[in-house]
Amino acid sequence: MACARSIHFVYKESRESSVYENYGKILKYFWWFVLVIVIGLFLYSRQDDLISGKLLIFDSIVFIIWIGICLAPILSRNGSIRNQA
């Protein structure tokens, strides 16, 4: 009887931790999506200045960060693309 209780407790604990892990993944991808959209909108609002050649060093840094954020899910160690292979 005690063995059955301990198995149930371990199962319940592992199930709860997997729920928190799923929320963490959802939060991570939501935050990634928000960052890509917000930085993309910033760069889009600066589009006229960027095309006309009125480029600031800050614009270059933001663009490099935006490219890195866009590529992060593809190049990450725990990314979904690598885990499928």
- 8-37 per-position pLDDT tens digit: 555 555 555 666 677 777 888 899 999 999
SS3 category, 76: coil
Q: d(Cα 10, Cα 15) in Å, to the nearest integer?
A: 8
**pTM recorded for the entire structure:** 0.62
Q: Could you give the CA distance from residue 9 to residue 14 in angstroms, rounded to a whole number?
A: 9
pLDDT tens column, 27-80? 888 999 999 999 999 999 999 988 898 888 999 999 999 999 988 878 877 655
State the chain's mean pLDDT as an integer.
77
Closest CA to 35 of 65, 2, 78: 65
**pLDDT for position 85:** 47
